[in-house]
Amino acid sequence: MPDVNPEFVKYAELHIPGRDPIKLPILKGTMGPEVIDIRALGKEGYFTFDPGFVSTASCSSRITFIDGAKGILLYRGYPIDQLATKANYLKTCYLLFKGELPTPAQYEEFEYKVKHHTLIHEQINSLFQAFRRDSHPMALMCGIAGALSAFYHDNLDIYDPEHRENTMIRLIAKMPTLAAMAYKYSIGQPFMYPRNDLDFAANFLHMMFATPAEDYKVNPVIAKAMDRIFILHADHEQNASTSSVRLAGSSGANPYACIAAGIASLWGPAHGGANEACLRMLEQIGTCDRIPEFVARAKDKNDPFRLSGFGHRVYKTYDPRAVVMRETCHEVLNELHIKDHPILDVATELEKIALSDEYFIERHLYPNVDFYSGIILNAIGIPTSMFTVIFAIARTIGWISHWNEMQEMPESRIGRPRQIYVGKTLRDIKASPARRRSAKSSAATKI
Ligand code: CMC
């Protein structure tokens, strides 16, 4: 039985003509809708059909709760806006992985450990040289995150909770270092080593923008915005990349390989690639007078174009992360004295038009978190191709927390979805005419 309310015992009955009803338990979590447990169906000779897992829970989880209709997002019970304003990214990491916010002493120890694992093995530097300079940084991240499994053999026992926690610390500490290296490699600048006197977000900005040639002062408003971007993207329950990590991990694969699977899944424009796609779209629109043309294309069923940064699989109201991100977006733009910025003008006008357009209202298509995060990252000076990489840094704690939880859940099994087969029915390979002729002539020879 999954980790759900055991006192809640109700059954659904499935009536299939010509058969006795099949009783299916209805499960109830601590929050959220009731869930029909269909695991017994397979033994009865039936599967369910649910492409995209729209109506299927693949696991039970204690980490993140989303109510898409009400626009609620909780990490371990805490609302996302409270974490964004009252915690920081490392506290959020501790919370997601361990289940509780750290005490001051626990935080001090955790921060110390993370800061003392930010360096990566020097041999990894040479892996970068194998990539073309113009490679997309997500290509480097997929490859090099997976390659970490070749360097940290000392903590790869997935059944040992201490090994799993050490791996979590290594991953969250090293991902910003790898990400900044991917950027430096693409622009031909030397890699910058991490600085342990800086906090998590400030250190990342230092590794991105400092050079050995001169001093670089991290702007605290920008560092705070960066930290918020990390918090808001830290987890989002069973999304495509987290489910990819869980599916890869369900076979017992090592955690670095599983994280590489998550990075690959995140790359797509319907998921983590949306902030990059959104900014490219704003650039393509260029000026406010062209917005109606693009809105018309987004509504046209014969045109595959969609407004990036709008809509969400789960949220059918305002994305609660977008509310916080919008506020941070204004803070950053004020700090940087950016007022008349063409991309910002297009974004503001597009938001206004889409929020008052019947098509978007009817379909509950609101700006999502990536609509605003793209604008902030652009203002900070982060190149568009790095946007999804930043999402990957943030989401690493979500991925590894789910991977860790999966190892502890008794219900976990290797993931193996079923299918409806719609291909050819059984048939035999027909002998080719040439083979038939030679078969005939050899029969004739025998006679
Ligand atoms: N622009 C125009 N129309 C849209 C859009 C959009 N961005 N999103 C959905 N629709 C329409 C869609 O055509 C459909 O219309 P109809 O009912 O007439 O056929 C209706 O809205 C429902 O769409 P759907 O495809 O069934 O919705 P979904 O839940 O499968 O897709 C989505 C969710 C996020 C993939 C989609 O909204 C989308 O492609 N958005 C743009 C990409 C984006 O911003 N993604 C980032 C999501 S937030 C980051 C993350 O959590 O990963």
Q: Residue whose CA is closest, atom 25 of ligand 1?
A: 313
Instruction: Please state, for a pLDDT cut of 90, what percent of the chain lies above it.
Output: 77
CA of 352 to the centre of ligand 1 (A): 18
Cβ count within 10 A of residue 249: 27
CA of 132 to the centre of ligand 1 (A): 33
370 is catalytic: yes
Average pLDDT of 352-369?
90
- What is the per-residue pLDDT for 79? 97
Q: Are 261 and 242 in contact, with CB atoms under 8 Å apart? A: no
Q: How far apart are CA 338 and CA 432, in angstroms?
A: 72
The answer for residues whose C-beta is within 8 angstroms of residue 90's C-beta and 6 or more apart is: 107, 110, 111, 114, 199, 200
Q: Look up residue 31 and give its DSSP letter.
A: S
Average pLDDT of 207-227?
95
Q: What is the mean pLDDT of the chain?
A: 92
- Residue position matching structure tokens 């020879």: 445
b/e code 158-181 from CB counts within 10 Å (16+ = b): beeeebbbbbbbbbbbbbbbbbbb
Cross-sheet strand order for the sheet of 64-67: 64-67, 72-75, 78-79
- What is the per-residue pLDDT for 1? 54
Q: Are 163 and 404 in contact, with CB atoms under 8 Å apart? A: no
Two tokens, residue 319 = 């994305």
Q: Are 175 and 167 in contact, with CB atoms under 8 Å apart? A: no
Residue type, 297: R
Q: Residue whose CA is closest, atom 4 of ligand 1?
A: 306
pLDDT over 90 (residue 340) = no
- Residue position matching structure tokens 């002539």: 441
Q: How confident is the model at residue 236 (pLDDT cuts 50, 70, 90)?
A: very high
For residue 73, give the H/E element and its range. Answer: strand 72-75
Catalytic residue among 233, 312, 319, 402: 312
pLDDT over 80 (residue 446) = no
- What is the per-residue pLDDT for 439? 63
Q: Which atom of ligand 1 is nearest to the CA of 240?
A: 52
- What is the per-residue pLDDT for 397? 98
SS (H, E, C) 373-442: HHHHHHHHCCCHHHHHHHHHHHHHHHHHHHHHHHHHCCCCCCCCCCCCCCCCCCCCCCCCHHHHHHHHHH
Q: Which residues line ligand 1 (CB under 6 A)?
A: 236, 239, 270-272, 274, 298, 306-313, 363, 365, 368-370
Q: Maximum Cα–Cα distance for the chain, whole Å?
A: 98
Q: Look up residue 190 and give its DSSP letter.
A: P
- What is the per-residue pLDDT for 65? 97
* Tally: H helices and E strands in the chain: 18, 6
Q: Are 347 and 231 in contact, with CB atoms under 8 Å apart? A: no
Average pLDDT of 373-386?
91
CA of 23 to the centre of ligand 1 (A): 36
Residue 436 DSSP SS3 = helix
pLDDT over 70 (residue 444) = no
116 is catalytic: no
Instruction: Please state, for a pLDDT cut of 70, what percent of the chain lies above it.
Output: 96
HSE value, Cβ hemisphere, 13 Å, CA-based, for 78: 21
In tens, the pLDDT along 281-323 reads 999 999 999 999 999 999 999 999 999 989 988 888 888 999 8
Cβ count within 10 A of residue 258: 28
Q: Which atom of ligand 1 is nearest to the CA of 271?
A: 52
Catalytic residue among 235, 319, 370, 402: 370
- What is the per-residue pLDDT for 188? 94
The answer for residues whose C-beta is within 8 angstroms of residue 365's C-beta and 6 or more apart is: 307, 310, 311, 354, 359
CA of 62 to the centre of ligand 1 (A): 27
C-alpha closest to that of 352 among 306, 402, 415, 295? 295
In tens, the pLDDT along 245-264 reads 999 999 999 999 999 999 99
Q: Are 366 and 315 in contact, with CB atoms under 8 Å apart? A: yes
Q: Which atom of ligand 1 is nearest to the CA of 312?
A: 34
The answer for residues whose C-beta is within 8 angstroms of residue 155's C-beta and 6 or more apart is: 162, 163, 166, 167, 170
- What is the per-residue pLDDT for 371? 87
CA of 239 to the centre of ligand 1 (A): 14
- What is the per-residue pLDDT for 369? 87
